[in-house]
Amino acid sequence: NAGVTQTPKFQVLKTGQSMTLQCAQDMNHNSMYWYRQDPGMGLRLIYYSASEGTTDKGEVPNGYNVSRLNKREFSLRLESAAPSQTSVYFCASSENRQETQYFGPGTRLLVL
């Protein structure tokens, strides 16, 4: 039981490049989330998926898109990366929308 896994662990992009961050959970959770964490700051919600087939915007969705591929997987895409998107990205899942959230190890992204 791996919990929540994220790939890649680290990534360096040039401004304007695109990439997809992958997240998978093996806990049969319905809800999944993408957060970003900037130095010295708390986590901010980018997008979430309350259940398979649904996605909703969080606090800071601009510049991102998401796909809930199936119940296990929830990906985050940066179509045209900007330096302001340099951050650590965490994926989380919960049994339902209001339940305890379990986090992955994070993806560290640097946009030059």
Partner 1 sequence: DAKTTQPTSMDCAEGRAANLPCNHSTISGNEYVYWYRQIHSQGPQYIIHGLKNNETNEMASLIITEDRKSSTLILPHATLRDTAVYYCIVRVASGSARQLTFGSGTQLTVLP
**Binding segment for partner 1 among 12-20, 69-77, 78-86, 93-101 (CB under 8 A)?**
93-101
**Least separation in angstroms between CB 16 and partner 1:** 28
Question: What are the tokens at 24?
Answer: 């998978």
Please identify which residue in 81, 92, 109, 111 interacts with partner 1, judged by CB under 8 A: 92
| Residue closer to partner 1, measured from CB, 38 or 79 | 38
Residue 62, interface with partner 1 (CB under 8 A)? no
3-state helix, strand, coil in the chain (%, to 5): 5, 50, 45
Distance CA 92, CA 34 (A): 6
Question: What are the tokens at 74?
Answer: 């929830």
Tell me the backbone φ, ψ of residue 84, rounded to 5 degrees: -70, -10
- Whether 72 and 52 have beta carbons less than 8 Å apart is answered as no
Residue 105, interface with partner 1 (CB under 8 A)? yes
Q: Are strands 43-49 and 10-13 parallel, antiparallel or unpaired?
A: unpaired
Residue 71, interface with partner 1 (CB under 8 A)? no
Name which of residues 4 to 23 contact partner 1 (CB under 8 A).
Answer: 4
Judged by the rule CB under 8 A, the positions of this chain that interact with partner 1 are 4, 31, 33, 42-43, 45, 48, 50, 56, 58-59, 90, 92, 97-106
